A and B are shown apart, each in its own frame.
Chain A
Amino acid sequence: DPKIIQKPKYLVAVTGSEKILICEQYLGHNAMYWYRQSAKKPLEFMFSYSYQKLMDNQTASSRFQPQSSKKNHLDLQITALKPDDSATYFCASSQDPGNEQYFGPGTRLTVL
Protein backbone atom coordinates (compact mmCIF):
# COMPACT_ATOMS: atom_id res chain seq x y z
CA ASP A 1 0.00 0.00 0.00
CA PRO A 2 1.34 3.44 -0.84
CA LYS A 3 2.39 5.32 2.26
CA ILE A 4 2.31 8.80 0.71
CA ILE A 5 -0.67 9.55 -1.47
CA GLN A 6 -0.82 12.45 -3.90
CA LYS A 7 -3.90 13.34 -5.86
CA PRO A 8 -4.44 13.80 -8.68
CA LYS A 9 -1.63 12.12 -10.58
CA TYR A 10 -2.13 14.38 -13.59
CA LEU A 11 -3.75 17.79 -13.70
CA VAL A 12 -4.42 20.14 -16.61
CA ALA A 13 -5.46 23.71 -15.83
CA VAL A 14 -6.06 26.92 -17.73
CA THR A 15 -4.10 30.09 -17.08
CA GLY A 16 -5.62 32.13 -14.27
CA SER A 17 -7.45 29.26 -12.60
CA GLU A 18 -6.90 27.81 -9.14
CA LYS A 19 -6.07 24.23 -8.20
CA ILE A 20 -5.43 22.25 -5.03
CA LEU A 21 -2.91 19.43 -4.92
CA ILE A 22 -3.61 16.83 -2.25
CA CYS A 23 -1.03 15.04 -0.10
CA GLU A 24 -1.61 12.51 2.68
CA GLN A 25 1.02 10.43 4.46
CA TYR A 26 0.47 7.29 6.49
CA LEU A 27 3.96 6.93 7.90
CA GLY A 28 3.20 8.61 11.21
CA HIS A 29 5.61 11.40 10.37
CA ASN A 30 5.60 14.83 11.98
CA ALA A 31 7.20 16.78 9.13
CA MET A 32 5.91 17.27 5.60
CA TYR A 33 7.30 19.07 2.56
CA TRP A 34 6.55 20.24 -0.95
CA TYR A 35 9.07 20.22 -3.79
CA ARG A 36 8.75 21.14 -7.45
CA GLN A 37 10.51 19.70 -10.46
CA SER A 38 10.28 21.71 -13.67
CA ALA A 39 11.62 20.58 -17.01
CA LYS A 40 15.41 20.67 -17.11
CA LYS A 41 15.70 22.01 -13.55
CA PRO A 42 16.73 20.29 -10.35
CA LEU A 43 14.17 19.42 -7.72
CA GLU A 44 13.41 22.60 -5.84
CA PHE A 45 12.32 22.93 -2.22
CA MET A 46 9.11 24.91 -1.65
CA PHE A 47 7.82 24.49 1.93
CA SER A 48 8.40 22.53 5.09
CA TYR A 49 5.93 21.97 7.93
CA SER A 50 6.44 20.35 11.30
CA TYR A 51 3.47 19.54 13.55
CA GLN A 52 1.34 21.55 11.13
CA LYS A 53 3.45 24.67 11.56
CA LEU A 54 5.37 26.35 8.76
CA MET A 55 9.12 25.89 9.20
CA ASP A 56 10.49 27.23 5.93
CA ASN A 57 9.10 28.88 2.83
CA GLN A 58 11.33 29.22 -0.24
CA THR A 59 8.53 30.13 -2.62
CA ALA A 60 8.71 33.71 -3.79
CA SER A 61 5.07 33.91 -4.78
CA SER A 62 2.11 34.11 -2.42
CA ARG A 63 0.09 32.28 -5.08
CA PHE A 64 1.34 29.07 -3.49
CA GLN A 65 -0.33 28.35 -0.16
CA PRO A 66 0.08 25.11 1.82
CA GLN A 67 -2.92 23.96 3.82
CA SER A 68 -2.65 21.50 6.70
CA SER A 69 -6.01 20.34 8.06
CA LYS A 70 -4.50 17.34 9.89
CA LYS A 71 -0.99 16.37 10.91
CA ASN A 72 -0.75 13.84 8.08
CA HIS A 73 -2.17 16.17 5.41
CA LEU A 74 -0.39 18.94 3.58
CA ASP A 75 -2.25 20.21 0.54
CA LEU A 76 -0.94 22.86 -1.84
CA GLN A 77 -3.26 25.54 -3.17
CA ILE A 78 -2.07 27.37 -6.27
CA THR A 79 -3.99 30.44 -7.44
CA ALA A 80 -3.82 32.51 -10.62
CA LEU A 81 -2.03 29.70 -12.42
CA LYS A 82 0.58 30.54 -15.04
CA PRO A 83 2.16 28.36 -17.74
CA ASP A 84 5.47 28.63 -15.83
CA ASP A 85 3.83 26.76 -12.95
CA SER A 86 3.80 23.63 -15.12
CA ALA A 87 5.89 21.07 -13.25
CA THR A 88 5.71 17.91 -11.23
CA TYR A 89 4.95 18.69 -7.60
CA PHE A 90 6.24 16.22 -5.04
CA CYS A 91 5.11 15.89 -1.47
CA ALA A 92 7.51 14.35 1.04
CA SER A 93 7.59 13.53 4.72
CA SER A 94 10.03 12.62 7.48
CA GLN A 95 9.79 11.65 11.12
CA ASP A 96 11.01 15.13 12.04
CA PRO A 97 12.97 17.86 10.18
CA GLY A 98 16.50 16.56 9.68
CA ASN A 99 15.52 12.92 9.25
CA GLU A 100 15.31 10.79 6.12
CA GLN A 101 12.69 12.05 3.70
CA TYR A 102 10.29 9.88 1.70
CA PHE A 103 8.61 11.16 -1.43
CA GLY A 104 5.16 10.70 -2.87
CA PRO A 105 4.59 9.79 -6.52
CA GLY A 106 4.04 13.40 -7.58
CA THR A 107 1.33 15.40 -9.31
CA ARG A 108 2.15 16.46 -12.85
CA LEU A 109 0.58 19.86 -13.46
CA THR A 110 0.23 21.35 -16.93
CA VAL A 111 -1.02 24.92 -17.26
CA LEU A 112 -2.28 25.89 -20.70
Chain B
Amino acid sequence: GQQVQQSPASLVLQEGENAELQCNFSTSLNSMQWFYQRPEGSLVSLFYNPSGTKQSGRLTSTTVIKERRSSLHISSSQITDSGTYLCAMERSSNTGKLTFGDGTVLTVKP
Protein backbone atom coordinates (compact mmCIF):
# COMPACT_ATOMS: atom_id res chain seq x y z
CA GLY B 1 0.00 0.00 0.00
CA GLN B 2 0.98 3.58 -0.46
CA GLN B 3 2.97 4.97 2.45
CA VAL B 4 1.97 8.60 1.89
CA GLN B 5 -1.64 9.40 1.10
CA GLN B 6 -2.70 12.89 0.17
CA SER B 7 -6.21 14.26 -0.02
CA PRO B 8 -7.97 15.61 -1.85
CA ALA B 9 -6.41 14.63 -5.16
CA SER B 10 -7.65 17.88 -6.69
CA LEU B 11 -9.32 21.02 -5.45
CA VAL B 12 -10.88 23.99 -7.18
CA LEU B 13 -11.33 27.23 -5.26
CA GLN B 14 -12.61 30.69 -5.93
CA GLU B 15 -10.02 33.32 -5.20
CA GLY B 16 -10.19 34.30 -1.55
CA GLU B 17 -11.39 30.91 -0.28
CA ASN B 18 -9.42 28.82 2.17
CA ALA B 19 -8.08 25.31 1.61
CA GLU B 20 -7.07 22.43 3.84
CA LEU B 21 -4.81 19.75 2.38
CA GLN B 22 -4.19 16.50 4.22
CA CYS B 23 -1.35 14.06 4.33
CA ASN B 24 -1.51 10.69 6.11
CA PHE B 25 1.34 8.29 6.63
CA SER B 26 1.00 4.53 6.96
CA THR B 27 4.27 4.08 8.87
CA SER B 28 6.11 5.83 11.64
CA LEU B 29 8.20 8.74 10.44
CA ASN B 30 11.08 10.91 11.55
CA SER B 31 10.02 14.10 9.78
CA MET B 32 8.00 15.43 6.90
CA GLN B 33 8.13 18.23 4.37
CA TRP B 34 5.60 20.13 2.25
CA PHE B 35 6.49 21.24 -1.26
CA TYR B 36 4.84 23.33 -3.93
CA GLN B 37 5.41 22.19 -7.50
CA ARG B 38 4.98 25.02 -9.95
CA PRO B 39 3.08 24.34 -13.19
CA GLU B 40 6.41 24.36 -15.05
CA GLY B 41 7.71 21.63 -12.73
CA SER B 42 10.13 23.16 -10.28
CA LEU B 43 9.78 22.32 -6.57
CA VAL B 44 9.72 24.81 -3.72
CA SER B 45 10.07 23.75 -0.11
CA LEU B 46 7.20 25.23 1.89
CA PHE B 47 7.71 23.66 5.30
CA TYR B 48 10.06 21.26 6.97
CA ASN B 49 7.82 20.28 9.81
CA PRO B 50 8.76 17.29 12.00
CA SER B 51 6.08 18.25 14.53
CA GLY B 52 3.84 21.05 15.68
CA THR B 53 2.57 24.05 13.79
CA LYS B 54 4.48 26.39 11.53
CA GLN B 55 3.23 29.44 9.69
CA SER B 56 4.57 31.37 6.76
CA GLY B 57 2.38 34.15 5.45
CA ARG B 58 -0.94 32.66 4.37
CA LEU B 59 0.30 29.09 4.80
CA THR B 60 0.11 27.04 7.99
CA SER B 61 1.40 23.51 8.43
CA THR B 62 0.46 21.27 11.34
CA THR B 63 2.09 17.89 11.90
CA VAL B 64 1.06 15.38 14.55
CA ILE B 65 3.77 12.74 14.39
CA LYS B 66 2.08 10.32 16.80
CA GLU B 67 -1.06 10.32 14.65
CA ARG B 68 1.00 10.11 11.46
CA ARG B 69 -0.65 13.05 9.77
CA SER B 70 0.05 16.54 8.56
CA SER B 71 -2.08 19.30 7.11
CA LEU B 72 -1.43 22.39 5.04
CA HIS B 73 -3.85 25.28 5.38
CA ILE B 74 -3.96 27.97 2.73
CA SER B 75 -5.90 31.06 3.68
CA SER B 76 -7.29 33.68 1.31
CA SER B 77 -6.21 31.75 -1.77
CA GLN B 78 -4.81 33.60 -4.77
CA ILE B 79 -4.64 32.62 -8.42
CA THR B 80 -0.88 32.29 -8.12
CA ASP B 81 -1.37 29.54 -5.51
CA SER B 82 -2.44 27.22 -8.33
CA GLY B 83 -0.20 24.22 -8.76
CA THR B 84 0.53 20.89 -7.11
CA TYR B 85 1.16 20.52 -3.41
CA LEU B 86 3.26 17.55 -2.36
CA CYS B 87 3.96 16.12 1.03
CA ALA B 88 6.86 13.81 1.72
CA MET B 89 7.94 11.83 4.73
CA GLU B 90 11.30 10.73 5.97
CA ARG B 91 11.26 7.46 7.88
CA SER B 92 14.84 7.64 9.11
CA SER B 93 17.30 10.48 9.37
CA ASN B 94 20.17 8.18 8.40
CA THR B 95 19.77 8.34 4.64
CA GLY B 96 17.57 11.36 3.95
CA LYS B 97 15.25 9.38 1.72
CA LEU B 98 11.96 11.22 1.15
CA THR B 99 8.85 9.27 0.17
CA PHE B 100 6.33 11.43 -1.66
CA GLY B 101 2.56 11.39 -1.96
CA ASP B 102 0.74 11.75 -5.26
CA GLY B 103 -0.02 15.40 -4.58
CA THR B 104 -3.02 17.70 -4.48
CA VAL B 105 -3.64 19.70 -7.64
CA LEU B 106 -4.99 23.11 -6.64
CA THR B 107 -6.72 25.41 -9.08
CA VAL B 108 -7.71 28.87 -7.93
CA LYS B 109 -10.15 30.69 -10.18
CA PRO B 110 -10.83 34.44 -10.31
Query: CB within 8 Å of B: which residues of A?
Result: 31, 33, 35, 37, 42-45, 48, 50, 55-56, 58, 88, 90, 94, 96-103, 105-106, 108
Contact = CB atoms under 8 A, between A and B. Distances in A.
A99 B95 CA distance: 10
Interface of B: 4, 30-31, 33, 35, 41-45, 48, 86, 88, 90, 92-103
Contact of B95 (A48, A105, A106): A48
B41 A100 contact: no
Given A43-B86, A97-B95, A102 B45 contact: yes
Q: Per DSSP, are chain A's interface residues mostly helix, strand or loop, or mixed?
A: strand
A105 B98 CA distance: 17
Given A43-B86, A96-B96, A98-B92, 20 more contacts: A33-B96, A35-B98, A42-B102, A42-B103, A44-B100, A48-B95, A55-B94, A55-B95, A56-B96, A88-B41, A90-B43, A97-B93, A98-B31, A98-B94, A99-B96, A100-B48, A101-B33, A101-B48, A103-B42, A105-B42
